Homo-oligomer: A and B are copies of this chain.
Amino acid sequence: MDQNLIDFTSHVVDECLPGKSIDCVIIGFEEQQLKVLLLKWKYEDIWCLPGGFIRKDEDMDQAAQRILEMRTGLKSVFLNQFYTFGSKKRSKWNEEVQLTRMGHILEEIHGKNGKFAEWIKQRFITTGYFALVDLRNTAPHPDVLSEKCEWKSISSMPELMMDHGEIIEKALEHLRNQLNYLPIGISLLPQKFTMQDLQKMYEAFLKKPLERSNFQRKMLKLGIFNRHEKQLTGAANKAPYLYSFDKIKYETLLKDGIGFNY
């Protein structure tokens, strides 16, 4: 018996709210691709979002922070709530989870009709939180329920648990909407980046190619970038300019919005 698993699951019934869960969509950008942080279950070839339950003594927002840290090791990540998933299909999906090896192990530990079995088989309404992070600064690691914790490209996802694919898609849709009126990306890119890096990131969100000169002109017009001097290499100097975000101007624009100015 896996003692860690027993400890981990023994207290949820008494300590957590019934029927309410949290799932975190942690997004990074690398090799010109958007990536999502996923956990691979022990015993099974199924991946899932880092998620968990809300303790009776904590706010839902606090729970999201705790769950993310507990399941992936990521600290001080700013999480934003984006949607709550309450389809009645969520009960049925729960039943499917119970048919997995993990489900059987939990049944062995807690009994087929015990308090835990009753608790876990109800419909869980889950609230989604997202965060944008510079994945170069993260060192994610799996928890007791999982054996891997890895960044997966959104264009080639492994098989996902329950409706986790839909939850990721909804987070991306939310971010695409925000791109219409907010600058996004300061937390996804390394400190210095090229205009091409920025364009590739926007293209990944918007799922369409953008015209280079038009994109650069509009972006630079926002006035939120610092351009850095090229390092002279002696050779014909064809390296592109590097930029960084001007944090104060970025924050101002984030507050005012870049959309329709009334």
Given contacts A59-B86, A87-B59, A88-B57, contact A125 B17 (CB under 8 A): yes
Check A259 against B181 for contact (C-beta < 8 Å). Answer: yes
List, in ascending order, chain B residues with CB within 8 A of A180's CB: 180-181, 257-260
Q: How far is the CB of A180 from chain B (nearest CB, A)?
A: 3
Is A36 close to B, CB under 8 A? no
A181 to B259, alpha carbons, bound, how many Å? 5
Q: Chain A 177-210 against B: per-residue CB contact (8 Å), 1 yes, 0 no?
A: 1011100000000000000000000100010001
* Total residues of chain A contacting the partner, CB 8 A: 37
Check B215 against A262 for contact (C-beta < 8 Å). Answer: yes
List, in ascending order, chain B residues with CB within 8 A of A20's CB: 19-20, 86, 125
Tallying the copies of this chain within the complex gives: 2
A259 to B182, alpha carbons, bound, how many Å? 9
Would you give 8 A-B contacts (Cβ < 8 Å), ordered by A? A17-B19, A18-B19, A20-B20, A20-B86, A59-B86, A59-B87, A60-B86, A84-B127
Interface residues of A (CB under 8 A from B): 17-20, 54, 56-61, 63, 81, 83-84, 86-88, 122-123, 125, 127, 177, 179-181, 202, 206, 210, 215, 218, 257-262
Which 7 A/B pairs are nearest by Cβ-Cβ distance?
A: A60-B86, A180-B259, A259-B259, A180-B181, A180-B257, A181-B259, A181-B181
> Contacts A17-B125, A179-B262, A180-B180 given; 10 further ones with Cβ under 8 A?
A59-B88, A60-B87, A63-B86, A84-B84, A179-B260, A180-B259, A206-B262, A210-B262, A215-B262, A258-B259
